Amino acid sequence: MTDYSKECPACGARVPEKSRWCPRCGRDLLAGPGLSTEVGNPNVPAGAVGAKERLVEAIRARVQTDEVLSIVWIFLPIIASVAAVIGIVIGILFLILGWWVGAAIAVWTGVIVALVLAAVLFALLNYKLIDRQNQHMTREEVLRGALMEYIRKHSQERNLAQLLSSQIATMESIQYDAKSRERETSATLFAILIVIPVVGLIFLLYVLYVLTEFPYHHDRRWHAYTQQAQSAASHLGMTVILPSWKTLPDRSFIIYLVLTLLTAGLFLIYWYYVLIKDLNNHFGAQWQFEDQIASQMK
């Protein structure tokens, strides 16, 4: 198991003990405050050098950031809720037998325990979905930046800077677009807010909106970026094959909400299923690209 006992002084991210570069912000962890330890250039800001090292660290960090969730997570809150039904059934049986005190205890105990457990599991499910989205977008931002620097550096060394200027400019544009549009959502805060009676429904709708809108647009940007990266890499003698040209489906928050209301909440099970599956699929495709890049770096 990887030891994530070291903390980045710049962003506070937990990183492997032996890592030199922070996979979240690109900080050189061996440098002094705000400075790089690169030989011969002590005044270069931390993170501005070592593109290859930062790229490798960002790829390694996926073990920590890109959590592939099991579909089982959808059913845990439902299973917990079944306990409330069981408690009610037992209470009815006790009532039939005339055991009034036993019936009351069985019903209230079953219902309270089940509802609390279901709420905790539901909050944990949403926390994990939000948190992995946050961590992945942060890691990918570092990865995109490091890959651009790597390609730019090698294109200059081989006098190909002008030839690859279009690809690099497009990659920079995608990076800027991602930074301006992708925002982190507090996983802990909203995991707590959604289980508050009555008002929690408003926060749940916001969480579902964020989780539904993110995968498609994020995946489109990543595909556009990798196409430019593949083209640039080919000019540098790197053979990189994109795993798929197909982006994730564009899920409609409004349609899914309407279907959830029409089915008295049952469609929510499928909704969470696609929220888990879509990002899992994005991770799988991205990892294939990253592995090819890592194997081709010199």
Of all residues in the chain, the percent with pLDDT exceeding 90 is 46
Mean pLDDT across 53-74: 89
Query: Which range (58-62, 139-143, 229-233, 239-243) has the least confidence?
Result: 239-243
The answer to whether residues 4 and 107 belong to one domain is no
pLDDT at 27 over 70: no
β-partners of residue 45 are: 35
Quick check: helix, strand or coil at residue 45? strand
Higher pLDDT, 239 or 31: 239
Any domain includes 132: no
End-of-domain residue from the set 65, 95, 115: 65
- pLDDT of 130 strictly over 90: yes
Weakest mean pLDDT among 11-20, 48-57, 206-215: 11-20
Q: Are 61 and 87 within one domain?
A: no
Predicted confidence band at 116 (pLDDT cuts at 50, 70, 90)? confident
Pick the residue with more confidence: 97 or 75?
A: 75
Does residue 289 form part of some domain? yes
Q: Is the pLDDT of residue 208 over 80?
A: yes
- Domain-located, residue 137: no
The residue with tokens 């690859």 is 164
Same domain, 117 and 165: no
Same domain membership, residue 99 and residue 175: no
Q: Is residue 135 part of a domain?
A: no
Asked if residue 219 has pLDDT above 90, the reply is yes
Give a yes or no: residue 232 inside a domain.
yes
Check whether residue 106 and residue 176 sit in a common domain. Answer: no
On the 0-12 / 13-18 / 19+ scale of CB atoms within 10 A, 6 is: middle
Residue closest to 117 by CA, chosen among 86, 74, 82 = 82
Residues 242 and 291 in one domain: yes
Q: Do 12 and 122 fall into the same domain?
A: no
Q: Report the range out of 28-42, 59-73, 248-262 with the highest average pLDDT.
A: 248-262
Point out the domain boundary residue: 12, 40, 65.
65
Mean pLDDT lowest among 32-36, 75-79, 200-204? 32-36
Instruction: Place 246 in a pLDDT band, splitting at 50, 70 and 90.
Output: confident
pLDDT attached to residue 207? 95
If asked whether residues 151 and 285 sit together in one domain, one would say yes
Amino acid at the residue 72: V
What are the distances in angstroms from CA 5 to CA 17, 26, 164, 210, 257?
Answer: 6, 17, 40, 31, 42
Classify residue 96: in a domain, yes or no: yes
* Residues 105 and 53 placed together within one structural domain of the fold: no
- Structure confidence at residue 21 (pLDDT): 59
Domain presence at residue 172: yes
Q: At what angle do helices 267-296 and 51-60 cross, to 10 degrees?
A: 140
Q: Which domain holds residue 31?
A: 1-65
Whether 287 contacts 62, CB under 8 Å: yes
Confidence of residue 47 (pLDDT cuts 50, 70, 90): very low
| Count of all residues that appear for the chain in the document | 298
Whether 54 maps to a domain, the answer reads yes
**14: enclosing H helix or E strand:** strand 14-15
Confidence of residue 256 (pLDDT cuts 50, 70, 90): very high
| Measured distance CA(253)–CA(250) in Å, rounded | 10
Higher-confidence position of 18 and 252? 252
Supply the mean pLDDT for the chain.
81
Domain shared by 170 and 240, yes or no: yes
pLDDT at 188: 94
Q: Which amino acid is at 2?
A: T
Confirm if 13 and 23 have CB atoms less than 8 A apart: yes
Quickly count helices (H) and strands (E) in the chain.
Answer: 9, 2
Bridge partners of 28? Answer: 21
CA distances from 56 to 19, 80, 153, 293 (A): 10, 42, 16, 10
Residue 35 pLDDT: 33
Among residues 139, 142, 144, 134, the alpha carbon closest in space to that of 62 is found at: 139
pLDDT tens track for 28-44: 566 544 433 333 333 33
Same domain for 244 and 227: yes
pLDDT, mean of residues 65-88: 78
What's the number of domains the chain is made of?
A: 3
Co-location of 168 and 182 in the same domain:
yes
Final residue of a structural domain among 22, 42, 65: 65
